[in-house]
Structure 1
């Protein structure tokens, strides 16, 4: 999952939305602390500014640089020093001395970058996705020593796939590591090399400005507005990587795996520059600088946003006509769904049987204080509130 600064934040793996003023987090779907009902919470005196969701776990970043985590924890992906499931947000104490700036969660591993540009990883490391030059799981945040990213400036973005990880530096260099079984690392190496356990730079002739890791594929955008993909292409999701469903967007359903970055022809995007790419499990979405949304890959459950009644895969990015009359600002792809953000006060969408104006989020009317309990399995004395 990949994150950028925004006045509000969306995350698809657990359908979590962050509000603006209070830093409240709204949760939807399967949740242990709210009995699977829509809910919300906030950290007292420290607004939440970013959210990362993995497979049944969540990490939130507060304004003061603290991290709180909760959910499944069988690999130590919560970074709390144990592997027990945690039902309420708990502070990751080992990172409290440092102000964390960036976070990302994969299927069962996590990444954090602090104010000193140090990369910390924790959780499942079976494919080297922690970048520690080994395959040993970590249940506390562990610094990647002697990271080669240091020579290319500040880290400005992090992303995590199922079992691979990536960071982008301000000089436009992409470093990637972890599982390579489907060519999702884009390192032009044989997929028989199943894992890379340390950050390795992807050779690209252009400066990269945006990255995204999907389940088994990856993508990035360059300053020239070009989009590249690699990895598994099942269902055509690539436009790079495994291409079984066309998730790579390269237009050829016979190409199943792409092990090096492939540029997508701009003609597909009506000759517009790309500013954002998001890679899901088996689909991919692109946003142009003109505010148009294109999607490709597996179309099941309507996640390509085209409201098609068929489940046919799209092997080339296709314009989402329902958003033609609005300006799309961002997109985030999950496993089987997609969230799209559009320009404020512009909700006139061509969506059949769907209200043209989105309903407001529920007010923060009821506050329940969680008692301060000092132990490793709770919130460690921090005050936070939840509405049920």
Structure 2
């Protein structure tokens, strides 16, 4: 916790899965209610995010802190021991960081210079360094990515970057086996089988401003507010009849009531998007409640046994979630989500490890406010695969210990 000049208190709260110490609390027990970190006093946090079992906190000053699973060196700390409390990445002390993205067992880092670094497992080429399959415990520059990068994203075993000219590069072969089956003996596009950054084809006539990724799919938003997607469509998260999209395909605006897309977020197999007017749409896999629609798991199974068309209507075609309209922030874990709406923190979806923060391990099918933050001023939210984080400001109130 930290106190500013006016006596206001700030703290980073964490909850959910904690098998590797990814909550930074100094132990490895799951936490079902948000708990404040007492040993982390960085005041100005810019971004919080997580991967399969690790967490990253980025400050306004460009300092990067990690904790959690580290067997492949994904924490960039120069060793492969798990870490149960946030530690400063000293190797980047002289390299201010702009953005960090966490994959399943690796990390991608965007430096202030526009260069991209990576650390962790490289068994699928996800570090962008093709010369070796060995992992790396200290962030290394991806030398072959010469263009200035402005945005990065990580999937389970692949990564992406957007350049200052609006081009997109992809590396890591996490999607390759699915793509090969989709090709039925044909040639898999280079960017889906590259172990070094390779330009994504099919976007040459667009200017991309942002890239995000699910487990085995990717999404970009163009300057015109158009949404393009490619990769696995196993759960209809790409709104296509094809099982796998080998090249970027635009999701037509009529799915979003003709409105342009402002932002998009990805779980492993579901998507959340916000239009220019603030409407929130969700679609894709929904059997854990991660779409925020009032469809219980039992109802989903009943629908699967009845008509596939009904299931698609309810889960796989973008539909609005009115209670989230106007959300200022959203974060997606593998199958759960957080949102800040009118200053309140909401959660919904998979809750097996308590990542919804309501004190139970029962899945949450519609967005519900987290009572711990009822009086809080939420600044930032972030998710790992099965854990959640929030940076809060509570003027004049004490944080729960």
Give TM-score scaled by structure 2 length.
0.74
Residues 166 and 174, structure 1, Cα contact 8 Å, conserved in 2 = yes
State the structure with bigger RCO (CA 8 A, min sep 6), 1 or 2. Answer: 2
Q: How does 1:185-334 map to 2 (within 5 A)?
A: 185=238, 187=239, 189-190=240-241, 193-204=242-253, 205-233=258-286, 244-253=287-296, 254-255=299-300, 258-264=315-321, 266=322, 268-269=323-324, 273-288=326-341, 290-306=342-358, 308-309=359-360, 311-334=361-384
Residues 128 and 134, structure 1, Cα contact 8 Å, conserved in 2 = no
> Residue 139 of structure 1 corresponds to which residue in structure 2?
195
Distance apart, 1:180 and its partner CA = 0.4
1:17 corresponds to 2:57: yes
Distance apart, 1:59 and its partner CA = 1.1
CA distance in structure 1 between the partners assigned to 2:397 and 2:248 by the alignment? 44
> Residue 36 of structure 1 corresponds to which residue in structure 2?
82
CA distance in structure 2 between the partners assigned to 1:75 and 1:24 by the alignment? 28
- Give the SS at the match of 1:246: coil
Distance apart, 1:133 and its partner CA = 3.7
CA distance in structure 2 between the partners assigned to 1:324 and 1:74 by the alignment? 43
Q: Deviations over 1:75-121 (max 9, x none)?
A: 101001132212221110011x3211100000000001111111100
Q: 1:136 to 1:100 in 2, by over 3 A?
A: closer
Distance apart, 1:157 and its partner CA = 2.0
Q: 1:158 to 1:342 in 2, by over 3 A?
A: farther
1:62 corresponds to 2:111: yes
CA distance in structure 1 between the partners assigned to 2:317 and 2:189 by the alignment? 22
Of 152, 161, 178, the residue aligned with 1:112 is 161
For structure 1, list consecutive stretches of 5 or more residues without a partner in the other structure: 1-5, 234-243, 356-388
Q: How does 1:377-388 map to 2 (within 5 A)?
A: none
Distance apart, 1:276 and its partner CA = 2.6
More helix by share: 2
Q: 1:349 to 1:314 in 2, by over 3 A?
A: farther
Residues 201 and 247, structure 2, Cα contact 8 Å, conserved in 1 = no
CA distance in structure 1 between the partners assigned to 2:273 and 2:58 by the alignment? 25
Q: 1:7 to 1:282 in 2, by over 3 A?
A: closer
Distance apart, 1:321 and its partner CA = 2.3
Distance apart, 1:43 and its partner CA = 2.7
Equivalent pairs counted in the alignment come to 318
CA distance in structure 1 between the partners assigned to 2:93 and 2:352 by the alignment? 40
Q: 1:64 to 1:321 in 2, by over 3 A?
A: same
Of 216, 219, 233, the residue aligned with 1:163 is 216
CA distance in structure 2 between the partners assigned to 1:133 and 1:313 by the alignment? 38
For structure 2, list consecutive stretches of 5 or more residues without a partner in the other structure: 1-43, 181-187, 301-310
Residues 210 and 276, structure 1, Cα contact 8 Å, conserved in 2 = no
Distance apart, 1:347 and its partner CA = 8.3
Residues 48 and 380, structure 2, Cα contact 8 Å, conserved in 1 = no
Residues 219 and 278, structure 1, Cα contact 8 Å, conserved in 2 = no
Residues 51 and 58, structure 1, Cα contact 8 Å, conserved in 2 = yes
Q: 1:225 to 1:174 in 2, by over 3 A?
A: same
Q: 1:347 to 1:183 in 2, by over 3 A?
A: farther
Residues 190 and 198, structure 2, Cα contact 8 Å, conserved in 1 = no
Of 121, 124, 137, the residue aligned with 1:75 is 124
- Give the SS at the match of 1:322: helix
Q: Deviations over 1:334-375 (max 9, x none)?
A: 2111112334x648477xxx42xxxxxxxxxxxxxxxxxxxx
CA distance in structure 1 between the partners assigned to 2:386 and 2:396 by the alignment? 23
Residues 282 and 318, structure 2, Cα contact 8 Å, conserved in 1 = yes
Distance apart, 1:24 and its partner CA = 2.4
- Give the SS at the match of 1:64: coil
Give TM-score scaled by structure 1 length.
0.76
